[in-house]
């Protein structure tokens, strides 16, 4: 890990995802605050990032990338071409990691040239607590050493896997938008606990631990979700009564349709921005 400790990383954009990733990297101990710089035109974003990371933050992008090894693009997708054109000359010797949803590696290389070292990464905000899901796609002149850097950084804050770029709209829908779907389910179950008479704080504790335990059971056993569900579904019991209602209300189909809609929207945004 010594090699990654020497890296200097600049975040272009200091919003929610940039802050979550920087916090996660600091929490994992792979970098220190002195190795991070960031830039954002919004003074509030700069202030939040600085408070969360203790890193040096600038208003100008060019100031942030000076002397750095890795530049992480964490700006809105529509701003990526403008930012790349602004910084192109200063990125020639740097590894460029783009977190911008829908912005293809091809469109980035069109601006920076085929010799640029570019990796597109799709993480989610759970990187803040070292439980993130990140998928990456290397392109251009990216070397094995560059890929190793991406694996070290994003592997330190969760799961990090390579994937073909054509799958990234689906990744955006499943793991990028997925946390919001989980939060909705958690909120509904907490409210349901209150509905049947539990104090809200107790319902929250029970629901959070239930989700955590169920996920860990899936992870540890490697079993199919239906198989594990069957193990707690007794004939004529409470669980089958609950599952019957969910099937009647179309919850499974609604979740599948929601993910499909998110993937479709990711493709629409990609087409528009490219």
Share of the chain above pLDDT 90, in %: 91
Q: What residues are paired with 161 via a beta bridge? A: 135
Neighbours of 115 (CB within 10 A): 9
Q: What is the pLDDT of residue 5?
A: 44
**For the chain, how long is the longest CA-to-CA vector?**
69
pLDDT at 270 over 80: no
- Specify the pLDDT at position 102: 83
pLDDT band for position 20 (50/70/90)?
A: very high
Question: pTM for the whole thing?
Answer: 0.87
Q: Are strands 132-140 and 36-39 parallel, antiparallel or unpaired?
A: unpaired
Q: How confident is the model over 161-168, as a mean pLDDT?
A: 94
Q: Torsion angle, CA of 272/100/252/205, rounded to 10 degrees?
A: -150
Out of 87-101, 135-149, 258-272, pick the least confident: 258-272
CA-CA distance, 162 to 172, in Å (whole number)? 14
Predicted pLDDT at 274: 56
Do 169 and 263 touch, CB atoms closer than 8 A?
A: yes
Categorise residue 264: left if φ over 0, alpha if ψ from -120 to 50, beta otherwise.
alpha
Domains of the chain: 2-164 (3.40.50.720), 178-270 (1.10.3730.10)
- Encode pLDDT of 106-161 as tens digits: 999 999 999 999 999 999 999 999 999 999 999 999 999 999 999 999 999 999 99
Q: What is the pLDDT of residue 1?
A: 39
Q: Looking at residues 224-232, what average pLDDT do you find?
A: 95
Q: What is the mean pLDDT of residues 84-107?
A: 93
Half-sphere exposure of 71 (CA within 13 A, CB side): 29
Distance between terminal CA atoms of the chain? Answer: 37
Helix (H, G, I), strand (E, B) or coil at 72: strand
Kindly state the average pLDDT of the residues 170-190: 95
H or E stretch at 209: helix 200-221
Compute the CA torsion angle 23, 24, 29, 33 (nearest 10 deg): -20
Residue in 158, 169, 111 with CA at minimum distance from that of residue 139 = 111
* Range 239-256 average pLDDT: 96
For all residues of the chain together, what is the average pLDDT?
94
pLDDT at residue 203 above 90? yes
Continuous segment of H or E residues that includes residue 143: none
């Amino acid at each position: 890990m010594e090699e990654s400790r020497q890296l200097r990383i600049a975040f272009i954009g200091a919003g929610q995802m940039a802050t979550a990733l920087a916090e996660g990297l600091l929490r994992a101990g792979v970098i220190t605050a002195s190795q991070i710089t960031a830039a954002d035109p919004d003074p509030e974003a700069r202030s939040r990032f600085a408070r969360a990371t203790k890193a040096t933050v600038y208003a100008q992008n060019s100031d942030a990338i000076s002397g750095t090894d890795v530049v992480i693009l964490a700006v809105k997708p529509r701003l990526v071409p403008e930012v790349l054109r602004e910084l192109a000359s200063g990125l020639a010797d740097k590894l460029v990691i783009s977190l911008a949803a829908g912005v293809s590696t091809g469109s980035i290389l069109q601006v920076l040239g085929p010799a640029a070292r570019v990796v597109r990464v799709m993480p989610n905000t759970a990187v803040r607590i070292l439980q993130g899901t990140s998928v990456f796609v290397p392109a251009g002149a990216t070397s094995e050493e560059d890929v190793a850097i991406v694996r070290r950084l994003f592997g330190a804050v969760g799961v990090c896997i390579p994937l073909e770029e054509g799958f990234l709209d689906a990744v955006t829908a499943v793991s990028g938008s997925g946390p919001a779907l989980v939060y909705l389910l958690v909120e509904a179950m907490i409210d349901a606990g209150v509905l049947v008479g539990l104090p809200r704080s107790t319902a929250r504790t029970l629901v959070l631990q239930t989700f955590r335990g169920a996920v860990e059971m899936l992870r540890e056993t490697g079993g199919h979700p239906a198989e594990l569900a069957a193990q707690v579904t007794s004939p004529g019991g409470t669980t089958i009564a609950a599952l019957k209602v969910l099937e009647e209300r179309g919850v499974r189909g609604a979740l599948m349709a929601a993910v499909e809609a998110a993937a479709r929207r990711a493709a629409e945004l990609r087409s528009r921005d490219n």
